Amino acid sequence: MALLQISEPGQSPDPHQRRIAVGIDLGTTHSLVASVRSGVAECLPDDEGRVILPSVVRFMPGQGRQIGFDAVQSAASDPVNTISSVKRFMGRGLNDIADRSKLPYEFTASEQGMLSIQTVQGPKSPVEVSAEILATLRYRAEDTFNDDLYGAVITVPAYFDDAQRQATKDAAQLAGLNVLRLINEPTAAAIAYGLDNASEGVYAVFDLGGGTFDISILRLTQGVFEVLSTGGDSALGGDDYDQALADAAMARQPALQATTAEDKTVLKAAARAAKEALTSADVVTLNAALSSGTLSVQISRTDFEQATQALSARCVTAVRKALRDAQLAKEDVQGVVMVGGSTRMPQIQQAVADFFGQAPLNNLNPDEVVALGAAIQANQLAGNNAAGELLLLDVIPLSLGIETMGGLVERIIPRNQTIPTAMAQDFTTYQDGQTALALHVVQGERDLVQDCRSLARFELRGIPPMAAGAARIRVTFTVDADGLLNVGAKEQISGVEARIDVKPSYGLSDDQIATMLQESFTTAQADMKARALVEARVDADRMLLATRSALAADGQLLSADERASIDALMVTLLAAIQTEQDAKALEDCTQALAKGTEAFAAERMNHSIQKALAGQNIQTL
Amino acid sequence: MISLQANDFELFDVPARFEQDRAQLDARWKALQREAHPDRFAAEGAAAQRVAMQWSVRINEAYQRLKDPLKRAAYLCELQGAPVQAENNTAMPAAFLMQQMEWRENLDDTESPEGLEALADEVSSEQRRVQQELARLLDEVQDPLQAVGQVRALMFIERFTQEVNAKLDRLT
């Protein structure tokens, strides 16, 4: 039986007022989805009560696919079609994948340089594979709430560049998710611990996962999370601890070997089980039935610590380097947040405590903490927490610039600028009569173009012929709150213009996304048209709701005529939601209302800014 | 009526002068972003998002300029009809140039961190002196043409400070 809701007098609960928003941790080895329910953030479990979804997708002959635990089981028997750790390939070109030969996959590259993996179902881009994982989490959330999702906050590593962020956003779009915001993983972890409410200061986020180690140094000032530095080791994680423990155990019984693939798997699993048991026990017995005999050795916590000392030392070295990059001493760090399942190991807790001279923050589940922080932010962005004070002003992780003569980079937006931001720089022509200008957008801290990441190339054409140096070309970089870039170029004298949403180098064009959605994977079994219509209805509802709340709050700003025309558009849209069967026609009605309320939105903004200033003045008086 | 065209001082509702209370600027920035940041309008339509983005960008731009003494001084000169035009006009008084040359020789010859720290201290006290002079010229005697010369001096000093810091980074 459903629980009855009791509301405060005069505040009847409207079921449509609460929007379902989730936070998603799209991880290298596993992914999670979380949501705020009854004021508390919690991870959502699948049918079998598991909150973790392994980030593994297997494409099967025909249309089928396995995602998560099922796919993990098949990895050994069908390695070519079972894709794991796809996050490493996001927003990357073929040449960026260093150890291609060690991976079981067959890589191909599209004309735009975008990477794909050849599967039994044809080439699959990392964006498509990630979208499978995101869609699975989306369905999990929709089943949990038995309602459509309003939107999601998705986390990305702090060091992700524009191409990697864009690829993540494309994957979400492909999975039918409305992305409220991309936020940095360490920032999410800090939010989960409520550090945004805490006093100002510097925090370290120590993230040791299955296969990667990330350390981030954050500064919190007045609700602004600033990433001061990031570092780590992309080939250091819990798996290495398992291996070291397995090696130590084998050394005790030299007569045995584990050479076959099966023996190795059995041994690794036994080592992992022993490692986990050692988190609470002082001594455990490691048992493994190998083909050459049964391995059975007593392992103490001290044995384990000694066997893995070198690994823990590598973590500490990376922490030192991150602090040096941030130009800080370890005494400057006010708190250390522990993220990732491998931080449960007592020797890691101890190493961190010893280094920083303080106990780390570890009372939240380290596997879940990033997803929980994302959920809190999602809840806030969906407008469910009106009293919320959390304002997340992220900074851009890497400088953005364009190529100038001689392969040098002219920085237009320096790193660590608070976003959103827009910055412009004037350039000129190099030759007499030059009528076109090639612009090459790059990201990175180095001075040479070849050392930076190439994001996009575009051309400004139709510049009237002038003497060299006479044209005034203003290049404007705009970075939105997600850290995504848009570049515009305008010749000031003639007014010739060109602009580009930066994504083509490795991302997907809107057309490609549209095509993929049509060929869709998420809708393999569902009726495409019906789905499009449902999504158009959700969008339309969202627009109506937004307009209604805007009118309720600031309707008095409108003249009677303006109000009447908005009302008319709302009536049309409401009718269309109920009767329209064509998704495109419904989208057009939603667009009409969006356009019709644009001036009102601008007016409201002016109003709210003035209100903010008025409030300030009263305080200062 | 505050609009996107308002100047930085109007937008932040602070007096258009060089001397500023940094804590007040920080607080005002935060208050403005609380009202205008696109996240506040995540639940509303694309139109509100676009407008919010414009405001938020504008507020960040103003904040970057107001909190930085050099940028703030250059901006004030421009508002008062005396643009700095650093790229077209690099003429500086001979005494200032002599001091610059001395500093540069000192930088080239110094290889110890302690020596560089001492140089950095000297440069930073000169920086403070120029800033005080700017406050006098802009806020008291209101002579933007004179102030422009001091803004240029401050530009030289800031660039030199970066070079000293870069060398310090290399040595430590």
Is A608 within 8 Å of chain B by CB? yes
Counting the structural domains of chain B, the total is: 2
CB A45 within 8 Å of CB A371 = no
Exposed / middle / buried, residue A320 (Cβ in 10 Å: 0-12, 13-18, 19+) = middle
Host H or E run for residue A272: helix A261-277
* Alpha carbons within 13 A on the beta-carbon side of B3: 2
Report how far residue A76's alpha carbon sits from residue A79's, in angstroms, rounded to the nearest whole number: 6
Are both B113 and B166 inside the same structural domain?
A: yes
Lowest mean pLDDT among A24-33, A297-306, A480-489, B98-107: A480-489
Exposed / middle / buried, residue A603 (Cβ in 10 Å: 0-12, 13-18, 19+) = middle
* Domain map (residue ranges) of chain A: 21-186, 194-236+315-366, 238-309, 400-504, 526-611
CA distance B47 to chain A (A): 5
Are both B99 and B150 inside the same structural domain?
A: yes
- Mean pLDDT of all residues in chain B? 88
In a domain, B79, yes or no: no
Are both B62 and B116 inside the same structural domain?
A: no
A338 falls in which pLDDT band (50, 70, 90)? very high
Mean pLDDT of A460-488: 86
Mean pLDDT of A604-611: 74
In a domain, B77, yes or no: no
Mean pLDDT of A173-194: 91
DSSP per-residue codes, A339-402: ESGGGGSHHHHHHHHHHHTSPPB--S-TTTHHHHHHHHHHHHHTTS-TT-------B-SS-EEE
Minimal Cβ distance to B42: which of A180, A593, A602: A180
In a domain, B88, yes or no: no
Residues from chain B contacting residue A472 (CB–CB below 8 Å): none
Choose from A101-115, A118-132, A404-418, B73-87 the range with maximum mean pLDDT: A118-132
Cβ contact A610–B1 (<8 Å):
yes
CB A217 within 8 Å of CB A323 = yes
In a domain, B100, yes or no: yes
Mean pLDDT of A438-450: 84
Assess whether pLDDT exceeds 50 at residue A523. no
CATH code: domain A400-504 is 2.60.34.10
DSSP three-state, residue B162: helix
More confident residue, A354 or A431: A354
3 state SS for A185-244: HHHHHHHHCCHHHCCCEEEEEEEECCCCEEEEEEEEECCEEEEEEEEEECCCCHHHHHHH
Tell which of B24, B44, B64, B169 to mutate to test the A interface (max A CBs under 10 Å).
Answer: B44
Residues from chain B contacting residue A606 (CB–CB below 8 Å): 1-3
Report how far residue A138's alpha carbon sits from residue A154's, in angstroms, rounded to the nearest whole number: 12
Q: Which of A525, A444, A446 is nearest to A139 (CA)?
A: A525
Cβ contact A420–B33 (<8 Å):
no
Q: Which of A390, A384, A466 is nearest to A194 (CA)?
A: A390
CATH 3.30.420.40 for the A194-236+315-366 domain, yes or no: yes
pLDDT at A9: 39
Domain that holds residue B100: 94-171
- Looking at this protein, which amino acid is placed at residue A29? T
CATH 3.40.50.2300 for the A526-611 domain, yes or no: no
Are both B46 and B101 inside the same structural domain?
A: no
Lowest mean pLDDT among A600-604, B86-90, B94-98, B110-114: B86-90
- Looking at this protein, which amino acid is placed at residue B142? Q
pLDDT at B40: 80
Active site residue A603: no
pLDDT tens digit sequence for A300-313: 999 999 999 999 99
Which chain A residues in 409-468 lie under 8 Å from chain B, judged by CB atoms? Answer: 417-422
In a domain, B167, yes or no: yes
Peptide bond into B69 cis (omega under 30): no
Cβ contact B30–A605 (<8 Å):
no
Q: CATH number of the domain that B46 lies in?
A: 1.10.287.110
Residue B74 tokens read as: 């250059």
Answer yes or no: same fold for A194-236+315-366 and A238-309: no
Q: Can you name the residues that pair with A117 across neighbouring β-strands? A: A107, A124
This model of the complex carries an ipTM of 0.80
Which chain A residues in 527-586 lie under 8 Å from chain B, judged by CB atoms? Answer: 542-543, 545-547, 549-550
DSSP three-state, residue A103: coil
Q: Which of the listed residues B22, B51, B67 is the one where a domain comes to its end?
A: B67
Exposed / middle / buried, residue A473 (Cβ in 10 Å: 0-12, 13-18, 19+) = buried
- Mean pLDDT of all residues in chain A? 84
pLDDT at A470: 84
Are both B106 and B41 inside the same structural domain?
A: no
In a domain, B22, yes or no: yes
CA distance A609 to chain B (A): 6
DSSP three-state, residue A476: strand
Lowest mean pLDDT among A66-75, A246-255, A424-433, B7-16: A424-433
In a domain, B124, yes or no: yes
> CATH number of the domain at A238-309, out of 3.30.360.10, 3.90.420.10, 3.90.640.10, 1.20.1250.20?
3.90.640.10
pLDDT tens digit sequence for A490-514: 888 888 877 766 654 444 555 655 5
| Domain A21-186: homologous superfamily in CATH | ATPase, nucleotide binding domain (3.30.420.40)
Q: CATH number of the domain that B133 lies in?
A: 1.20.1280.20
Mean pLDDT of A387-411: 80
A213 falls in which pLDDT band (50, 70, 90)? very high
pLDDT at A388: 59
Active site residue A207: yes
Report how far residue A474's alpha carbon sits from residue A424's, in angstroms, rounded to the nearest whole number: 6
Assess whether pLDDT exceeds 80 at residue A520. no
Cβ contact B45–A547 (<8 Å):
yes
pLDDT at B172: 65
Are both B102 and B149 inside the same structural domain?
A: yes
Cβ contact A606–B37 (<8 Å):
no
Q: What is the DSSP letter of A4?
A: P
Assess whether pLDDT exceeds 90 at residue A399. no
pLDDT at A518: 53
In a domain, B131, yes or no: yes
Alpha-helical regions (H) of chain B = 8-12, 22-36, 46-67, 69-79, 94-109, 113-135, 144-171
Active site residue A185: yes
